[in-house]
Amino acid sequence: MAKQQPNLMDNIVSLCKRKGFVFQASEIYGGIGNTYDYGPLGVELLRRVKDAWWGRVVTERSDVVGLDSAIIQHPDVWVTSGHVGGFSDPMVDCKKCKARFRADKIEDASCPEKPSKRPGECAGELTEPREFNLMFKTNVGPVEGSGSVAYLRPETAQGIFLNFKNVLDSARIKPPFGIAQIGKSFRNEITPGNFVFRTREFEQAEMEFFVPPGEDQKWFEFWVRERFQWYTDYGINPDALRLRVHDKKELAHYAKATTDVEYLYPFGWGELEGIANRGDFDLSRHSEASGTKLVYFDQETKEKYTPWVIEPAGGINRMALTFLIDAYEEEQLEKDTRVVLHFHPRIAPTTVAIFPLVKKEGMPEKAHEIEAELRRARLSVQYDEKGAIGRRYRRQDEVGTPFCVTVDGQTLADDVVTVRERDSMEQVTLAVGELVPWILEAMGHWKRPERSPKSKD
């Protein structure tokens, strides 16, 4: 249950590169720190995670609408939000070798001149800690200089607060209601981040849920439960998840309360998502700073108030990593071991693989015909005709494809195919015409398998 087996993280990183989930960014130029690109399987995994989040948080709900705000906003936004003043890490410099280190992580750092030694042991003196802002700075417009400084957003949440009034005025909605957004955010992180767990650019999924004051505790509890439930509904092991309540001194300056959903990673418990009660902090601050009143006026009760905000905020990349780690199993079978990713079929990058049993007798042509039909249904498909069927199954297991379809002599004779399910390794025979509806149906009925030795295949 606890994913603490040795080398697990190394095995996953290696699988990610070998199979096309995640590559080091700018690898051919030596890479760039804490930055990754997502390959053919990785981008499909991210798409599934985003669709699962958006579908549940926006599409299925009548009280949440979406938004897509710009990455570069007016610089005053980040003054008001507190990011210009306070979004920083304390750093110390070595006066001799000029290296810079996080003051609160200096115990774990090493001197770049003498990597076996602690910072400062190159005989340089360390400066006093100074605050280093984590926002990326740039210049907008034709002139460089302080007048044109702008920032890459460090969170998507502020774009939502900025549009609170626009959404109220245009959508037919009133508190309690939410505005949700998925998009890239940027933080100039200094410390390395356990693969894609913490990266300089990352895709956030945030939702600000605006409620009448006094209803905040109820909705806070609702969203903690609902977000926990989402992870388990998509197959994450509930025993590897826990809720952690922030204590008073740990709370961010804007938060009345925060609870994290944590996952037991190979490197220990880590934050998967945070649910915060932000009170009326953001709307009040932006009202004051911008001069635009960000309040709600209830036509029926004639009440005017600043809504309180409950915010579930997670990272798509971290969610994807978590689905990957949680799905990963080196499963002991009777005669051998298989590597298998037990993804929920709605999360799996490839939904169905199709194999001609042999590369002749018209089987590849028939398999391509069925492939085209599956693709027209907008299912994610992989065609494979290389090697023994058993090896092809294993290749698909390793990338988590839930269904493998084999075209054989019977297909040519009777228009039936064999479908092999990834987790149980059981097979069923189906008419070709039933294949698409059968797969769509089966995707909805998946259950997380027990992780125990299997004896088939």
User: Shortest distance, CB of residue 186 to a copy of itself, whole angstroms?
Assistant: 8
User: Shortest distance, CB of residue 72 to a copy of itself, whole angstroms?
Assistant: 6
User: Shortest distance, CB of residue 378 to a copy of itself, whole angstroms?
Assistant: 5
Nearer to a copy of itself, 176 or 260 (CB): 176
User: Shortest distance, CB of residue 109 to a copy of itself, whole angstroms?
Assistant: 12
User: Shortest distance, CB of residue 322 to a copy of itself, whole angstroms?
Assistant: 18
Alpha carbons 395 and 353: distance in angstroms, whole number: 10
DSSP-assigned letter for residue 65 = E
DSSP 109-147: ---SSSTTS-TTTTSPPBPPPEEEE-SPEEE-SS--SGG
Question: 196-217 b/e with 16+ CB inside 10 Å = b?
Answer: bbbbbbbbbbbbbbbbbeeebe
| Angle subtended by helix axes 316-327 and 40-54, to nearest 10 | 110
Cα 339 to Cα 7, 324, 454, distances in angstroms: 14, 12, 13
Cα 220 to Cα 223, 246, 274, distances in angstroms: 5, 14, 11
User: Shortest distance, CB of residue 6 to a copy of itself, whole angstroms?
Assistant: 25
User: Shortest distance, CB of residue 332 to a copy of itself, whole angstroms?
Assistant: 27
User: Shortest distance, CB of residue 248 to a copy of itself, whole angstroms?
Assistant: 31
Nearer to a copy of itself, 47 or 454 (CB): 47
Nearer to a copy of itself, 196 or 236 (CB): 196
Cβ contacts of residue 313 below 8 Å, gap of 6+? 155, 157, 204, 205, 206, 207, 273, 274, 275, 276
Nearer to a copy of itself, 68 or 250 (CB): 68
Nearer to a copy of itself, 68 or 414 (CB): 68
Is residue 266 exposed (0-12), middle (13-18) or buried (19+ Cβ within 10 Å)?
A: buried
| Angle subtended by helix axes 8-19 and 389-399, to nearest 10 | 110
Nearer to a copy of itself, 198 or 286 (CB): 286
From the CB of residue 273, how many other CB atoms can be counted at a distance below 10 Å? 23
Nearer to a copy of itself, 61 or 246 (CB): 61
Alpha carbons 303 and 45: distance in angstroms, whole number: 45
Alpha carbons 363 and 436: distance in angstroms, whole number: 19
User: Shortest distance, CB of residue 152 to a copy of itself, whole angstroms?
Assistant: 7
Cα 95 to Cα 111, 124, 411, distances in angstroms: 12, 6, 74
Nearer to a copy of itself, 34 or 258 (CB): 34
Nearer to a copy of itself, 371 or 423 (CB): 371
- Nearest one of 419, 363, 373, 368 to 396, comparing CA atoms: 419
User: Shortest distance, CB of residue 308 to a copy of itself, whole angstroms?
Assistant: 20
SS (H, E, C) 386-437: CCCHHHHHHHHHHHCCCEEEEECHHHHHHCEEEEEECCCCCEEEEEHHHHHH
Nearer to a copy of itself, 60 or 128 (CB): 60
Nearer to a copy of itself, 9 or 173 (CB): 173
Alpha carbons 103 and 93: distance in angstroms, whole number: 9
Q: Are 25 and 34 in contact (CB under 8 A)?
A: no
DSSP-assigned letter for residue 307 = P
Alpha carbons 216 and 223: distance in angstroms, whole number: 10
User: Shortest distance, CB of residue 245 to a copy of itself, whole angstroms?
Assistant: 32
Q: Are 429 and 418 in contact (CB under 8 A)?
A: yes
Nearer to a copy of itself, 43 or 106 (CB): 43
User: Shortest distance, CB of residue 183 to a copy of itself, whole angstroms?
Assistant: 8
